[in-house]
Chain A
Amino acid sequence: MERNLHRQLANMKKSLFDQGYLDEQFIQLEELQDAANPNFVEEVVTMYYRDSARLIQNIDHALEKNPLDFAKLDNYMHQFKGSSCSIGAKKLKNECTQFKEYCETGNGEGCKRTFQQVKKEYAALKKKLEHYFQFARQVGPVEKACRPK
């Protein structure tokens, strides 16, 4: 049974990677997890979602302005992108890059459209990760393959 759970968990993770939601950075985080910080990855992700909510709000407000302040939008997105890459949010990061490109060309419509995508990806990833961690907790503080220090 445990093995089953483990395998399920592993599969979940694999699919997240396969579907492009996560990248190498996520594995880095997992490697940082150890006895001192057994829930490190989850803590980081939680922190990310808390902090990034603020950034999303900022961008939303900025997009409502008229005319659009692209420099400001770019700046906000720069912060958001930096934060998102910290947890390895691959798809999300790509959307952010797209958004920044539109900012550079002053394409307001493009920005708004892309940001909708950003929010979608953001929400989707959040859900998946929540699911993943929930399951991981169920599986228990199992011996994860920790690299010897």
Chain B
Amino acid sequence: METNGFSSPRPDAFPAGLRVLVVDDDPTWLKILEKMLKKCSYEVTTCNLAREALDLLRERKDGFDIVISDVNMPDMDGFKLLEHVGLEMDLPVIMMSVDGETSRVMKGVQHGACDYLLKPIRMKELRNIWQHVFRKRIQEVKDIESHEGLEEIQMMGNSMEQSDDGYLFCGVDLISGKKRKDTDNKQDDRHYGDPSSVKKARVVWTVELHQKFVKAVNQFGFDIGPKKILDSMGVPWLTRENVASHLQKYRLYLSRLQKENELKASFGGMKQSDISKDTPGNVCLQNSSNASRNSVTNGSSGICGSKVPIKNVDSKICVEDMKVASVQMAEPKEALIGDITDPQKSSNSRTGLNHSFGQIGLDVKYEPKILTQYSWTEVPPVQFEQEHMPHFQSQSWSTEVRPVHFKPEQKPHVQSESSFSHLPLARNHIQVDCRTEPILSHHPIPSTNEKDKRADIGPNCIKSRRQGIGIVTSVESTAQLFSVQPKSHLTHCKEFEPIPCSMWNMKNHSLEKIPLNDVDSSQRNLILGTGSGFRLLDEELRRYSPQGDFHPQNAGFENIESFDYSNQGIIADIPPLLYDSLNFDYGNPSETMEYPVIDQGLFIA
């Protein structure tokens, strides 16, 4: 095996000197490929075992530009290696096989391969592999710029003072901020103009590093920006860009997991729909994601637009550990019963959604903030129960809800108000109607005071699916659950075992897909203050999924009020969605630490 020193590419000679790692268990092919690549003036390292290859990659961080791997290997499936490399090292990977079946090729692409070559491989095919490296570098450069732009926007949003004017203008500011950022970035373009010459120190995401990353993400929630993750990871040599791009990949991975889980769930059958909530809090405690999923889907289909007894709703929401919630839910539940109104599918839904969540009190729990703070497996119990889960479709939720930067603090704030007249709907709203009612902004349950400010939201909320969710009470209880206090918030969250952040992340990911178009523009404006501002933000989010600095610590409910709408909307949406999505996506919310396990699974070579 030819080994290279820790070499750096020669930028001026690109693509010559490209550092390629070839992995193939067939020694004959290894020899041939090595020779071919050398003829292309690449620096070749060969490896006949996948595990060895991974070790090599981890050892030599930033030692390779591209990996070429066979699909069929004895010690590890080529696709798995592909995933590992993508997540840990973020290198382009080319797959090879003598089998050119469409399904295999598709699988390769799905797992992230940037190309799939059929054996016997011609030299001319290898000559061009540098394009994948080049492409990735260009994308990374763009990502960094976007990250910075987005973060700036989010930071601006965070620092928004509480005042109605504050968030009315925030949209504007965001836009102008973004524009400013763009201009700045353009000046930097020159610097990035030649990606081939930019030697980015490639971070090798070792298992330990990734675990730190996951821990940080779980701690703050997926919605949090890379900066926060970076800070909490405490790895001095890691940059925000490293974290940001890793975060993206991570979300991709989670969303893929989510899809797989959803697929499974759909087969699980939608029985949950009728889980009556005899046990107020515990109903939702369905451990299987399937259950939640089913319930949700069932719920949505059944409930959309119809009155749904809270009972059903609760049961559907399989929130695993809603123990705490259950207690609290009990109250709201009763309140909710009989107050079910048809969820309104309208643009209002967005606001309604927010509100509905608030009502349930549990919704408040959802506050994205809370969710983010929870570890993966934690599921805010309360929220689900109250929610009218019929709509609970992780998918729809995810698509609709765009967990934009949400501010946890906001939630608590709202809850304390306990005047959520319009909250209850949120949940239902979110779940099912995600499609019809784009929930652009999830407003934390506004307090009564807020009501005026959020008048637009309020009434909407009330109208839109108010599923008879106990509002006031629930809100209050939720509020308590979610205490805003920076520290307590976290504490509370933990009690609930919030939905794993990872799930939420997945949702975020999917949420990002929610087209803004769905949102009624007026609604949007309401929420954003300036519709365009939101859209802008939304697009950013779409790209990145909220990475704004998540300040779980935001103390006080005041923040809620000052919440700039764009953020709020986003955040508000998140909670309900989060739960839903979390439930759904997360295959087994039964254990709290499920996500970490899964995560580790990925890295268990």
A68-98 contacts to B, CB under 8 A, are 75, 78-79, 81-83, 85-88
B218-266 contacts to A, CB under 8 A, are none
Could you say which residues of chain B place their CB within 8 Å of the CB of A75? 72
Could you say which residues of chain A place their CB within 8 Å of the CB of B26? 51, 79, 82-83, 86
Contacts A47-B27, A81-B98, A82-B29 given; indicate if A28 touches B120 (C-beta within 8 A). Answer: yes
Q: How large is the interface on A (under 10, 10 to 19, 20 to 34, 35 or more residues)?
A: 20 to 34
Q: Nearest B residue to A46 by beta-carbon distance?
A: B28
B28-51 contacts to A, CB under 8 A, are 28-29, 31-32, 35-36, 39
Could you say which residues of chain A place their CB within 8 Å of the CB of B119? 82, 85-86
Q: Are B120 and A43 within 8 A (Cβ)?
A: no
Is B10 positioned at the interface, with any CB of A under 8 Å from its CB?
Answer: no
Q: Are B72 and A29 within 8 A (Cβ)?
A: no
Is A4 positioned at the interface, with any CB of B under 8 Å from its CB?
Answer: no
| A44 to B120 alpha-carbon distance, docked (Å) | 14
Q: Are B123 and A43 within 8 A (Cβ)?
A: no
| A31 to B39 alpha-carbon distance, docked (Å) | 10
Q: Are B120 and A85 within 8 A (Cβ)?
A: yes
Is A127 positioned at the interface, with any CB of B under 8 Å from its CB?
Answer: no
Could you say which residues of chain A place their CB within 8 Å of the CB of B99? 78
Q: Are A79 and B28 within 8 A (Cβ)?
A: no
| A87 to B31 alpha-carbon distance, docked (Å) | 11
Q: Are A88 and B120 within 8 A (Cβ)?
A: yes
Is A32 positioned at the interface, with any CB of B under 8 Å from its CB?
Answer: yes
| A1 to B358 alpha-carbon distance, docked (Å) | 97
Q: Nearest A residue to B97 by beta-carbon distance?
A: A82
Digit string of B78-122 for contact with A (CB within 8 Å is 1, else 0)? 000000000000000000011100000000000000000001101
Could you say which residues of chain B place their CB within 8 Å of the CB of A85? 98, 119-120
Could you say which residues of chain A place their CB within 8 Å of the CB of B29? 82-83, 86
Q: Are B35 and A51 within 8 A (Cβ)?
A: no
| A82 to B99 alpha-carbon distance, docked (Å) | 8
Could you say which residues of chain B place their CB within 8 Å of the CB of A149? 39
A24-83 contacts to B, CB under 8 A, are 24-25, 28-29, 31-32, 34, 37, 40, 43-44, 47-48, 51, 75, 78-79, 81-83
Contacts A85-B98, A86-B26 given; indicate if A29 touches B31 (C-beta within 8 A). Answer: no
| A31 to B127 alpha-carbon distance, docked (Å) | 14
| A51 to B26 alpha-carbon distance, docked (Å) | 8
- Within the complex, what minimum Cβ distance (angstroms) separates A87 from chain B? 7
Could you say which residues of chain A place their CB within 8 Å of the CB of B120? 24-25, 28, 85-86, 88
Q: How large is the interface on B (under 10, 10 to 19, 20 to 34, 35 or more residues)?
A: 10 to 19
| A25 to B27 alpha-carbon distance, docked (Å) | 16
- Within the complex, what minimum Cβ distance (angstroms) separates A35 from chain B? 12
Q: Nearest B residue to A37 by beta-carbon distance?
A: B35
Residue of A25, A31, A82 contacting most chain B CB atoms (<10 Å): A82
Q: Are A44 and B31 within 8 A (Cβ)?
A: yes
| A139 to B20 alpha-carbon distance, docked (Å) | 37
Contact check: which of A25, A40, A79 meets B35 at CB < 8 Å? A40
Could you say which residues of chain B place their CB within 8 Å of the CB of A24? 120
Could you say which residues of chain A place their CB within 8 Å of the CB of B122? 28
Q: Nearest B residue to A48 by beta-carbon distance?
A: B28
| A40 to B36 alpha-carbon distance, docked (Å) | 11
| A34 to B70 alpha-carbon distance, docked (Å) | 26
Could you say which residues of chain A place their CB within 8 Å of the CB of B31? 43-44, 47
Q: Are A32 and B35 within 8 A (Cβ)?
A: yes
Could you say which residues of chain A place their CB within 8 Å of the CB of B123? 28, 31-32
Contacts A78-B98, A85-B120, A149-B39 given; indicate if A32 touches B32 (C-beta within 8 A). Answer: yes
Could you say which residues of chain B place their CB within 8 Å of the CB of A29? 32
Q: Nearest B residue to A43 by beta-carbon distance?
A: B31
- Within the complex, what minimum Cβ distance (angstroms) separates A141 from chain B? 18
Residue of B28, B35, B97, B98 contacting most chain A CB atoms (<10 Å): B28
Contact check: which of B35, B36, B39, B72 meets A78 at CB < 8 Å? B72
Q: Nearest A residue to B36 by beta-carbon distance?
A: A32
Q: Are B28 and A83 within 8 A (Cβ)?
A: yes
Question: Which 6 residue pairs spanning A and B have beta carbons closest together?
Answer: A82-B98, A25-B120, A48-B28, A85-B120, A86-B28, A32-B35
17 contacts between A and B (CB under 8 A): A28-B123, A32-B35, A32-B36, A44-B28, A44-B31, A51-B27, A51-B28, A79-B26, A79-B72, A82-B26, A82-B72, A85-B98, A85-B119, A86-B26, A86-B28, A86-B32, A149-B39
Q: Assuming A31-B123, A83-B26, A87-B28, what are 15 further A-B pairs, CB within 8 angstroms?
A: A28-B120, A28-B122, A29-B32, A32-B35, A32-B39, A32-B123, A44-B28, A47-B31, A48-B28, A79-B25, A82-B26, A82-B70, A82-B72, A82-B97, A86-B28
